[in-house]
Each structure stands twice: as structure tokens, then as C-alpha cells.
Structure 1
Amino acid sequence: MKKALTLFIMVCIFVAVLSGCSTNSAGAGSDTITIAWLPNDSGDDKSASREEIGKIIEGATGKKVELQTTTDYTIAIEAVANGSADLAYLGPQGYVEAHDKNEKVLPLVVPSGESGTLDDAKYYSWLSVKKGNEAAYQDGDGFKIDNIAGKKMSFVSTSSTSGFKVPTSGIVGYFSKMDQYKTLTADDLMEGGSGKFFSEVLFGNSHQGSAVNLLSGKADVAAFCDFCVSNYVELADGEDNKTGAVYQVKADAEEPFNAFPGEQFEVISVTPVLNTPFVVNTEKLDQATVDKLIEAFTSDEVANNPKIFAPKGGLFTKKGNEKMLSVEDSWFEPIRELSK
């Protein structure tokens, strides 16, 4: 009887502990909102932008903000899906994965395009090679990706839209038209070796990491996006975001590019991608708080804030009428289609 009573008490304590751990830590009664950031946006070069976003959230809600930087895509995605973070800044594919894990995770806002609308709310996925190696991929005045087969390839993360999902979809779409690769799938591109499409596959865990894999010679070809490396490189030749564009690492580039000043790479493939959203776990934040956040993010104050939208060095580039816009889940349907 004593053993049964002891066991009952232990179970009650365990349940109570679990209940305490699962308390809605950022609901209407909480004084803290946590926002998770992907590795690409967790570096020192984005710290001023992260802090400014935190101030915007604090001003709109009256709640304290905790900025949760990460070293892995999965950590940020899981954080907002399981509720340990209330908000997150995720790539389109990361959002789709978080929503699949928890349908209460929904998009909050995305940065518009230069027009100030969703029509051109895009960034770019690149396949790049080191300058000097581009001849193997040239085809007249253009480029072909035929010769990436058998090479050492660097992606960002399997949860990255522009660093994995989009480039692998493009590679499969291109090569599966050839008899030799007609059964090729994205899964076949996840690891290299004998008999595989690539001789070796690396994952940089961030867009910066994938670019460094290329610059260091660990990879022959690398996938990463334009704006994720824009603080570290500058256009050296060609037209921005066009195949054949050559970029050079800035002399004063911060880590992890500081080891490669002056190094150049050339872009051999460019694909537009839907812009990256701020997302919210609506189990953790009530609708009144969500509405306040949308109002604050889409304000002129944010659109004209040089620490957020800046000609250079901000979280987003300001070229024209860029601003934040609210967006629905359905806007990301083209990203879901990539997995079908």
C-alpha cells in the first residue's frame, strides 16, 4: 500500500512539473517574447538589426524580448514549432516545415520587393564556382550545369530553401531529362561518394558556411543566396544576380570571410525564391498581440529604419519602396510544390 501511495505521489509531482514546463510563457499574461534566428542571421554583422527588431517588438507589445541566435536550421525551426520560441525569422522552406510540425505556426510578415508589393518579393539562389574554374560550365555566352556531376558540392542545410530545396529541385529537373539520370531524386543529392551524383556533399549549416566551403576549396560548387552574403562580398564584374556575375570578398569582411580577402567566385546559375518570413506560433501569442506586431512591422517607422532596411549592412536591402507586408500561408504554396 505504501509503495502504491508513493508511486501515486511521484506521478502527481511529475505531471505538475510537466504542466509547469508547458505553461504558455508568452501569452497574454507573460512579459517575455522570444524570437529565434537562423544561423545566417545570428552573426555579429546582423546584431544591430536583431536588436532593432527586438525594440520594435517591445514597443508594440510592452513585453521584454529575448533574441535566440542559433547554429543550426533545425534548432530555429523546432523552437518555434514546439513553442520554446514565440516568433522566428525562417526561410520559406523552414516555415513550411515548422507549419507541418505545428499548424498553429503561421506567417506574420515578409519584406516586399523594391516595388513595395509582393509581386517582386524575391531573393536569389545561386550556384557558384571559384573564379578561374568557370570555363568548365560555360556554354557560349551562357552557362550549363552539366559538369557539376561528379564534383564536390556544398549545400546549406536540408531545411534551407535557397541553399538546398531550390537548387536540388533545379538539378533534378535538369538532369532527369537525361537517360543516365532519369530516376534522379533530391534524396540522391544529399550525400556523395562512389556511384553517387556528387563525389562529395558538404553542408555549411549557414549560407556563409556554404560560401566558405567554396572559397576554401573544400567544394567545387556551392549553393547559397545573394542577400545572405551581401555584407561580405561586392560585385566585381557583370550584372548583379545574373549568371556570369563575379563577386569578390571585401577587404574588411568579417568572420567567416576575413580569411579570404579579395577571393572571387562566379555565379553559374541564378533562381528567384520567395522572400523570407517572420513567423509566429499562435498558440503562444494571442490574436491581440499578433495584430499589434503586424501593425508595427508594416509601419513606415520600420520601412524607413536604416538598421532594418539599409542600402548596405541592414537585415534587408533598401533600393526603393521596400517595406514589410502581412502574408497568408497560401503564399508559400510554390515552396510546398517543390517537395511533391
Structure 2
Amino acid sequence: MQIGNVKIETNVALAPMAGVTDLPYRLLAKEMGCGYLVTEMVSAKAILYNNKNTDDLMVMDNKEHPIAIQLFGSDPEIMANMARKIAIEKKPDIIDVNMGCPVPKVVNNGEGSSLMKNPKLVEQIVTAMVKACPIPVTYKIRTGFDDTCINAPEIAHIIEECGGAAVAVHGRTRAQYYSGKANWDIIRKVKERVSIPVWGNGDVTSGIEAKRMLDETGCDGVMIGRAARGNPWIFREIKEYLETGKIVERPSYEEICDMIVRHASMLCEYKGEFTGVREMRKHFAWYTAGIKHAAALRNEANHVTSLDGMKSLVEKMREELSKI
């Protein structure tokens, strides 16, 4: 897939997720075959006002390319100026814009998926950003705001007309949040409406589902969000299935245990032990979802306060799983 001047070798992407797609997790996804990475979303206003926390969100590793830094906001001038600033200073391959976030504090501020209700403002934002930014600018949208406003094809057309380089479509409205079934038909209609690359996002949990989305919608690539939580192996599975038609076996309990230790160690190295261990608790829950007798282990994980404690818990888990 080609987005502007950026070549993406494998058309499987990691969707941006706040509190999930930080540097350590992105590196794991990349190792597993993910072709394109996107950071957690960063407020354009926060960058403008030099909020210290935003710098941490934009740290990248050389091994991550191609990667996009994702911005959110609603002021065309601020969005344009911050896109240019970040493109020059941080040197991502792409600037992505979140027009799909459903969280109330974002939507109530006229940002995220609220923009789906305002095509004129979308036009102003895209026009300003594309003019100011020296690298490709892409946009992530939803099917619409709610059932009365299913307008993704129209919004995608505006994005293309104003110079946007690609669009990712989450097949749900803002009103749905993450519930119900993703509407792949709207993704297909977006692809039919525009000639720029289209990422399809929503309900892809396997290589078979990824292939089905590509076939049914005609989209250029699949973007994986919640199915990647606690499951970096999904990128290996999808890549292999799309390239060879082979179904890769799910990771063994040993692989899962090893990955938890590695992920925890990377988080502690990157964020410090205090923060890293606490953030690892939710990842531990995702890694162990669906594993028999893991509920008690998840409860224990919520009380772990050190990396050694997390490693000890994983060894206990390894021993218990060996008996299954």
C-alpha cells in the first residue's frame, strides 16, 4: 500500500488506542508483523501549550517506521500549525487525525467523532493541515455520528478533495461506541467513493476475518484495534493468512507467559517500575482473558507493585497452566 510517498509493505495496521498503543506495545506489534503503527492520540492544543505529557506520547523508535503520530482537535489553524511542527521536529512518516474518538470529554469539546456532524469544519481542517504539513496527512473516521447521520462516504470524499492521503473507517457510529456489529457495508461505500487508500476497522479478529473484510469491502488494508489488546500475535496470524492462506496456531501458554514478562519489562524500562507495573495490570488481564482458572491470577495482578512481583506471578501462572 502506498500513502503519499510512504510505502507500507504489509497492509495490516495497529489502530491507535489511548493507554494501549504506547511505544512498548507498538514494538511488540511490529515484531509480530504489523505493517503500520499509529501512536496514541495527542491533543494539538496540548502541544501548542507545551504540555509535558504530550512529549511522552510522541516518542518513537527507529524500528517503528512507517509510523504516524495521531493528533486530535477542532481548530483548523492550530491543527495545521501543530501538524507542521510535529512533522518537522518528531519526523513521523505520516500525521493522522482522529475524527472518530467517541469519549464524551472529547466529543463535548467538538473534537473526535463530533466532527462527523460538521462537514464544513472537516473541510477547513483538512485543507489547512494538508497545506501546512510537509508529510502525508490521513484521517480516521466512523460511519457517522449516530443512525440519523451515516455520512462516512461524504466525509471521506471531502477528505480526498482537500488533499487527505488516506482514510481509516471504523464501521460503527459514535453512538455505538464499541458495541454491536461493525457495518462493513459503509466501509465498502467509502472505498467506492474515493480513490485514496482506505483502511477498514471493526470486528477483525483473525486472518480469515481480515481476508473477508478485504474481499467484501474492497478496502486496501485492515486496521486492528481491540482484538490486539493482549494479543500482539494477531498481526502474525493475519500477515501469514493473507500471504499464504495458512492458519497460524494460537500462542502456547509458554509463549503467553514469556510475552507478559517481556512486555512488563519493556514498560518498566520505558516508564519506570512504579508506572510500568501498574499499567501492566490491565495488559495482564487482556493476555489471560479466556484462560481457564485465570480469574484469581488477574486479581493477584491488580495488587502487584514491582517487576519482580509480576515475574513471580507469571511463574506461578506458568506452573498452574502446565497442569492443564
Q: Same fold (TM over 0.5)?
A: no
Q: Normalized per residue, which structure has more helix?
A: 2
Higher RCO, Cα 8 Å, sep 6+: 1
> TM class, shorter-chain normalised?
under 0.3
Give the number of the structure whose residues are more often strand, by fraction: 1
TM-score normalised by L of structure 1: 0.24
